[in-house]
Amino acid sequence: MGRVTATSNVQRTGSRRLKPPTGSWADDLWQKWTATPQLARRTEWIILGIITLIGALVRFVRLGQPAKLVFDEVYYVLDSWTLVNLGYEAEWPEDGRDIFAAGDVYAYTADPSYVVHPPLGKYLIGWGMQLFGAENPYAWRITVAVFGLLAIPLLYLVAKKLFNSIGLAAIAAGFLALDGHAIVTSRISILDGLVMFFVLLGFLFLLYDRDDQRRQIFAWTKAWREREHAKDPSIPLEATPSRWTLTIKAPKTPPTGPSWGPILWQRPWLIAMALSLASAASVKWSGAYFLAIFCVVTIGIDAATRKEAGITFWLSGAVLKQGWASFLLTIPLSVALYLLTFIGWFRTGAGYYANWVQSEVIDGAFPRAWGGMLEWVPLSFQNFWHYQSEVLKFHSGLGADHPYTSAPIQWPFLLRPTAFSYDYFDRGENGCTAQQCVEAITSLSNPLFYWLGTVAIVFLVMMLFVKPRWEYVAVIIGYAAGYLPWLITGRTAVYHFYVIAWLPFMFLAAALALQTIAGTPKDDRRMRTPAVNIVAGFLVLGIFVSLVFYPVWSGIQIPTWYWHLTHWLPGWR
């Protein structure tokens, strides 16, 4: 939305016709709410506050229900608790799930457990349990709920930064606040919601780095032109976008800009981006996809900026000159952060594979130890390398015959969401007053929001060939960084709830699509008003759908006939 100047109806003054009125009732209302900078600031805070409050209510109310370990909580909650107490993930008795849920939270053994996800997310979950008491189901889920809630204002900041629009930012954040997939992954203690938060935070830092990067390059180029113009007046002070990259023979018209451009070392936002995405990778390895792709994107931004600033060899300057500097600013720190999350594994020497080399001894030597030029590597790092290589093998060929597996090709269409839990009760059981009741938790997105997001991504891809904009590119990159790697993976044990990592980018695309439908405040009122009414109607309908589906996102007991009403597609059962 934007400000408009109210105009009167079409009138005739002699033979002169006034311009038709523009905007809509929503634009008039928005103008009233943002008439001054103080009003605009207050309106923005009120909007963000309401959205965040709604997001908090749907995430925190009844957070301790069900009072049992649900879905993969049996792994992450139990592993998190042993990790923060022992420094490594330990085994539980065979019936450890029931023992833990019954309140005996110290029944774990000292034997290490084989886990395939890095420790950071489990540390966060475990610290929440230490804070509120592991006997309390609320404590199992408090961490993911907090991060799921914080993702809402974070997405607002991302959208505001990217689109410079309070309205679009509010729509994107509102979708995340009311979406079932986001709600479920904020109410059930699994790792994927944490990955989403750190990815979104890294994306925000990428946007900040882009602005900082452009400022530094244009400032450097301006200083170069002023200096060279003083020596040679034929060097223009104004930059002209360069057409040259690497050439074999000299161009007919010699370029007048700097050859390569600067090396930028002062990149605090780039470092922050890398650390945020390294944190995502330290929760689940899938976060590394975003780290790799976003780092490449920063080089692409650098190349485009150099070209715009008139630097002659803009591509080679970005790749060969700035590329290695950016690598040094990001990758070593990312690796260091990843290793730091395993501090308990290294310190205790008791985790899984922590003594793999030493566990086999022949004639007083360790035949598994590295030799030759790598003989100097400490045994702890050799053990760690073996551990990580085994985890890689596990992830690369993981297969499972699970009823809720969903091929990545199905994900854009919401064909098979994951049912985390469902319990049936007959009349009189557990308060059931119908013939039969169910308490279900399914990571099913609000279908209207989700399908709009899928259509909007396709729309943005098409718009790149019609009217390319940086905003389109940024949203598509965020979506592709999360989704495309899964299309080429060899794993068959994959699930739709992985989509949460890039779901915010679908909502960013959806906000842009709604803006395209609504038009602009400068449009003829006769066209703008019905378009705004259509968008408003969609938003109201989407809120109603969230209200209808909320019981199957939060485990509220409902009659089975109600549950069946939420099965719009066969795969939703």
Average pLDDT over residues 331-354: 96
Q: Tell me: the pLDDT tens digits for 97-121? A: 999 999 999 999 999 999 999 999 9
pLDDT, position 18? 66
Residue spans of the domains in the chain: they are 203-341, 346-387
- Cβ(554)–Cβ(422) below 8 Å: no
Q: Please report the pLDDT score of residue 238 as a whole number.
A: 80
Question: Is residue 371 over pLDDT 70?
Answer: yes
pLDDT digits (tens, 9 = 90+) for 512-553: 999 999 998 998 899 999 999 999 999 999 999 999 999 999
For 164-191, where are the alpha helices, taking DSSP H only? 166-178, 180-187
For residues 261-289, one letter each, b for 16 or more C-beta atoms within 10 angstroms of the residue's C-beta and e for the rest, the string is bbebeebebbbbbbbbbbbbbbbbbbbbb
Q: What is the pLDDT of residues 438-495, one digit of tens each?
A: 999 999 999 999 999 999 999 999 999 998 999 999 999 999 999 999 998 867 788 9
The arithmetic mean of pLDDT across residues 64-92, rounded, is 95
Distance CA 394, CA 399 (A): 9
The predicted pLDDT at position 233 comes to: 81
pLDDT of residue 5: 44
- Give the single-character DSSP code of 500: G
- Rounded to an integer, what distance in angstroms lies between the CA atom of residue 409 and that of residue 486? 9
Tokens of 88: 């490594």
Give 402's pLDDT tier (boundaries 50, 70, 90): confident
Residue 90 phi, psi (nearest 5): -120, 160
Q: What is the pLDDT of residues 235-250, one digit of tens each?
A: 887 877 766 544 445 5
User: Are 134 and 105 within 8 A, CB to CB?
Assistant: yes
Q: Per-residue pLDDT for 11 more than 60? A: no
Q: How far apart are CA 548 and CA 488, in angstroms?
A: 36
Question: What's the whole-number mean pLDDT along residues 360-369?
Answer: 87
| The pLDDT value given to residue 409 | 95
pLDDT of amino acid 399: 66
pLDDT at 10: 46
Instruction: Give every CB contact of residue 511 below 8 A, 6+ residues apart in sequence.
Output: 159, 163, 168, 169, 171, 172, 175
What does the pLDDT read at residue 400? 66
Long-range Cβ contact pairs of 406-410 (< 8 A, separation 24 or more): 406/494, 406/495, 406/496, 406/571, 407/494, 408/483, 408/486, 408/487, 408/489, 408/494, 409/487, 410/496, 410/571
| % of the chain exceeding 90 in pLDDT | 79
With cut-offs at 50, 70 and 90, classify the pLDDT of residue 296: very high
pTM: 0.93
pLDDT in tens, 118-131: 999 999 999 999 99
Task: Label residue 251 by pLDDT band (50, 70, 90).
Answer: low
Residue 117: both structure tokens together: 């996800």
pLDDT at 17: 63
Kindly state the average pLDDT of the residues 149-162.
98
Instruction: Indicate the average pLDDT of the chain.
Output: 91
The answer to whether residue 258 scores a pLDDT higher than 90 is no
Tell me whether strands 16-17 and 419-426 are parallel, antiparallel or unpaired: unpaired
Q: According to the model, what pLDDT value does residue 22 have?
A: 87
In the chain, the percentage of residues whose pLDDT exceeds 70 is: 94
Query: Cα separation of 189 and 449, whole Å?
Result: 24
Tell me how far apart the alpha carbons of residues 89 and 528 are, in angstroms, rounded to a whole number.
Answer: 58
- Which contiguous run of DSSP H or E holds residue 490? none
Compute the average pLDDT of residues 27-50.
93
Residue 226: the pLDDT is: 87
For residues 500-530, one letter each, b for 16 or more C-beta atoms within 10 angstroms of the residue's C-beta and e for the rest, the string is: bbbbbbbbbbbbbbbbeebbebebebeebbe
Q: Hey, is 422 helix, strand or coil?
A: strand
The pLDDT value given to residue 252: 61
| Helix residue ranges per DSSP H, 379-524 | 379-396, 447-463, 470-487, 503-518
212-226 pLDDT, tens per residue? 999 999 999 999 888
Tell me which DSSP letter residue 572 carries: G
User: Residue 425 forms beta bridges with which residues?
Assistant: 437
